């Protein structure tokens, strides 16, 4: 990366960043427990900028997504940029740090994303904001989608499944061997949307349905929101039954 950076004249260090992503590709290729199946169509022009969004299951997501044959700048937690070696590499690749506890930092991210988009660089944002604790798709923050609408660029959705079991949230021990699936959707034209919340729900629904199809289960089984709603409904029905029973008992 250092040697590449000496000759990389691109404003946003495309070649340097691509070298960084190749490290992730090598991690996946060298790990016999990781088999990656990629479907969908790649963008025809890698310098046509997108806001790329993907669900988040574990730290293994990063090297897996790095298998895609183009560079995009990642928005990541500020503490990752302070790690030895990795933090230097992320700075060198011109990824974007965000301190989620600092509102000014979140605002500054918008500016940095806009700079890279105008420099013909795609930006990767994981709208769940954190890793899924159970493999279900968490609610999406709408910030990435509002940025895309404001900048007038398409959203490129990616669905990912299988990394949760490969590298669980609560440890670094690899899970059982299995195939990790990655699907690249066709870009979503944001010019036809005037509601960021509706666009967020639409893209999230695409990802949920793809993961459900891979697993052969209903969409509600992988949708954390649906699971919460279902539990709330069951609890409400149970409370109603209890109340009805109590009323019946009092009448008796």
Q: Do 215 and 227 sit in the same domain of this protein?
A: no
pLDDT tens digits, one per residue of 59-91: 889 999 999 999 999 999 898 899 998 899 999
Q: Do 93 and 104 sit in the same domain of this protein?
A: yes
Q: How confident is the model at residue 107, as a pLDDT?
A: 81
Asked whether residue 58 carries a pLDDT value surpassing 90, the answer given is no
What domain range is 232 assigned to?
A: 222-252
Q: How confident is the model at residue 246, as a pLDDT?
A: 35
Q: Do 229 and 245 sit in the same domain of this protein?
A: yes
Q: Which of 63, 97, 94 has the alpha carbon at shortest distance from 80?
A: 97
Lowest mean pLDDT among 66-70, 99-103, 185-189, 193-197: 99-103
pLDDT tens digits, one per residue of 108-129: 898 999 999 999 999 999 999 8
Q: Do 136 and 174 sit in the same domain of this protein?
A: yes
Q: Do 181 and 245 sit in the same domain of this protein?
A: no
Confidence of residue 13 (pLDDT cuts 50, 70, 90): very high
Give alpha helix (H) positions in the chain. 2-7, 14-30, 61-65, 78-81, 86-92, 103-118, 143-151, 163-166, 196-215, 224-251
Q: Do 165 and 251 sit in the same domain of this protein?
A: no
3-state secondary structure of 180: strand
Asked whether residue 220 carries a pLDDT value surpassing 80, the answer given is yes
- Mean of per-residue pLDDT scores for the chain: 86
Confidence of residue 168 (pLDDT cuts 50, 70, 90): low
Q: Do 202 and 230 sit in the same domain of this protein?
A: no
Q: Do 127 and 168 sit in the same domain of this protein?
A: yes
Asked whether residue 245 carries a pLDDT value surpassing 60, the answer given is no
Confidence of residue 24 (pLDDT cuts 50, 70, 90): confident
Q: Do 197 and 252 sit in the same domain of this protein?
A: no
The set of long-range contacts for 206-209, using a CB threshold of 8 Å and a minimum separation of 24, is 206/157, 206/159, 207/54, 207/55, 207/137, 207/157, 207/158, 207/159, 208/137
CATH of the domain at 57: 3.40.1130.10
Q: How confident is the model at residue 31, as a pLDDT?
A: 82
pTM for this entry? 0.86
Q: Do 70 and 11 sit in the same domain of this protein?
A: yes
Span 194-223, mean pLDDT? 97
Q: Do 30 and 77 sit in the same domain of this protein?
A: yes
C-alpha 209: how far from chain center: 15
Q: How confident is the model at residue 213, as a pLDDT?
A: 98
Confidence of residue 177 (pLDDT cuts 50, 70, 90): confident
Number of structural domains in the chain: 2
Q: Do 174 and 238 sit in the same domain of this protein?
A: no
230 or 202, greater pLDDT: 202
In percent, the amount of the chain with pLDDT more than 90 equals 62
Span 231-244, mean pLDDT? 39
Q: How confident is the model at residue 173, as a pLDDT?
A: 65
């Amino acid at each position: 990366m250092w040697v590449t950076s000496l000759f990389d004249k691109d404003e946003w260090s495309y070649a340097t960043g691509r070298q960084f992503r190749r490290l992730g590709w090598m991690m996946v290729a060298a790990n016999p427990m990781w088999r990656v199946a990629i479907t969908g169509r790649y963008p025809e022009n890698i310098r046509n900028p997108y806001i790329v969004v993907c669900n988040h299951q574990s730290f293994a997501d990063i090297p897996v997504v790095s298998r895609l044959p183009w560079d995009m700048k990642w928005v990541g937690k500020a503490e990752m940029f302070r790690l030895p070696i990795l933090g230097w590499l992320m700075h060198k690749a011109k990824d974007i740090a965000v301190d989620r506890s600092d509102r000014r930092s979140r605002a500054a991210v918008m500016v940095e994303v806009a700079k890279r988009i105008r420099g013909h660089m795609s930006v990767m944002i994981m709208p769940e904001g954190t890793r899924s604790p159970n493999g279900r798709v968490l609610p999406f923050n709408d910030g990435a989608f509002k940025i895309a609408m404001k900048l007038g660029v398409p959203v490129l959705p990616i669905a990912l499944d299988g990394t949760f079991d490969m590298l669980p949230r609560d440890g670094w021990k690899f899970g059982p061997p299995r195939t990790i699936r990655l699907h690249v959707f066709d870009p979503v034209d944001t010019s036809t949307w005037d509601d960021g919340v509706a666009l967020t729900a639409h893209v999230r629904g695409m990802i949920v349905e793809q993961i459900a199809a891979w697993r052969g289960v209903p969409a509600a089984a992988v949708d954390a929101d649906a699971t919460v709603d279902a539990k709330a409904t069951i609890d409400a029905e149970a409370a109603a039954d209890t109340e009805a029973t109590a009323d019946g008992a009092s009448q008796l």
